[in-house]
């Protein structure tokens, strides 16, 4: 009988890990997406789209389907599903790890101001009107209605209507990866004075940080939310090794 693994996805790491497991006959993998992106690129492997009904719903799903391990490979800022995963792992007793990208670290030339959340990021922009590149997706843009005086350039994967509280906001749609040449050209063309970014640690979007460094543009860097304690792995190889150990232990009845 295959060893069932549920992977909570939304990152490239989740997709690559799921693809590796899909070719391993020891495992039966299901990749789960939250469903917040309408233009989701569906993988050619078993997957589902949509929520579970909170932490208790996830626990019930894991029990009903007989999964043997749970991996949280969601975005570093998908705090609620990560909290639900930690709860469900504890409630069911399933082996559980997070597959986590390392956060970006400031290097020489970076002009970062690190803040704990989006509300603090809005305050960090200051009172004088400035040209701000708001590179945070669409879900938390409303926090900046507290600072409507700025000219905001928003970027998201899918089109959406900027909130009415941001009368000077414009939207561009694009999907990464982004090159350094293109990101630098964007900052120069739009005369960006401040960049707001989540510290996602994503290689495909790091070019905006490099471009800001090259142009001397300050960055308001939003730190990752705090999550319940859980074992963390940094690479696909480490996750595969962890699962292989669990599989072998299950055969030995450990």
User: For domain 3-101+226-252, which CATH number applies: 3.40.50.720, 1.10.10.10, 3.30.70.60, 1.10.4080.10?
Assistant: 3.40.50.720
List the domain boundaries for the chain.
3-101+226-252, 112-222
Q: What is the pLDDT of residues 179-213, one digit of tens each?
A: 999 999 999 999 999 999 999 998 889 999 999 99
Mean pLDDT of the chain: 94
- In this structure, are residues 195 and 207 in contact, taking their beta carbons and an 8 Å threshold? no
* Pairwise CA distance, residues 193 & 92, whole Å: 49
Q: Which residues pair with 16 in a beta bridge?
A: none
Please check whether the two domains, 3-101+226-252 and 112-222, share a CATH topology.
yes
At 160, list the tokens: 């959406």
Determine the length of the chain. 254
Determine the CATH number of domain 112-222: 3.40.50.720
C-alpha dist (Å) from residue 168 to 143, 147, 238? 15, 11, 46
Quick: pLDDT tens for 22-51.
Answer: 999 999 999 999 866 666 677 888 999 999
Alpha-helical (H) ranges within the chain are: 12-22, 54-65, 79-92, 118-124, 180-189, 207-215, 236-252
């Amino acid at each position: 009988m295959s060893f069932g693994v549920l992977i909570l996805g939304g990152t490239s790491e989740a997709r690559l890990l799921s693809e590796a497991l899909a070719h391993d006959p020891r495992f039966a993998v299901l990749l789960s997406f939250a469903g917040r992106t309408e233009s989701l690129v569906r993988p050619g492997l078993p997957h589902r789209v949509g929520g579970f009904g909170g932490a208790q719903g996830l626990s019930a799903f894991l029990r009903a389907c007989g999964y043997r391990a749970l991996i949280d490979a969601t975005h570093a800022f998908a705090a609620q599903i990560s909290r639900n995963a930690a709860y469900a792992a504890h409630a069911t007793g399933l082996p559980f790890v997070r597959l986590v990208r390392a956060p970006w670290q400031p290097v020489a030339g970076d002009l970062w101001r690190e803040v704990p959340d989006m509300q603090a990021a809005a305050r960090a922009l200051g009172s004088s009107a400035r040209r701000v590149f708001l590179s945070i997706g669409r879900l938390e843009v409303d926090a900046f209605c507290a600072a409507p005086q700025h000219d905001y350039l928003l970027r998201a994967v899918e089109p959406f209507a900027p909130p009415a509280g941001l009368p000077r906001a414009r939207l561009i749609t694009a999907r990464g990866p982004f090159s350094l040449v293109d990101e630098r050209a964007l900052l120069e063309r739009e005369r960006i004075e401040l960049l707001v970014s989540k510290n996602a640690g994503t290689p495909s979007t790091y070019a905006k940080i490099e471009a800001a460094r090259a142009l001397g543009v300050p960055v308001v860097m939003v730190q990752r939310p705090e999550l319940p304690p859980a074992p963390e792995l940094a690479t696909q190889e480490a996750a595969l090794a962890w699962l292989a150990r669990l599989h072998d232990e299950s055969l030995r009845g450990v």
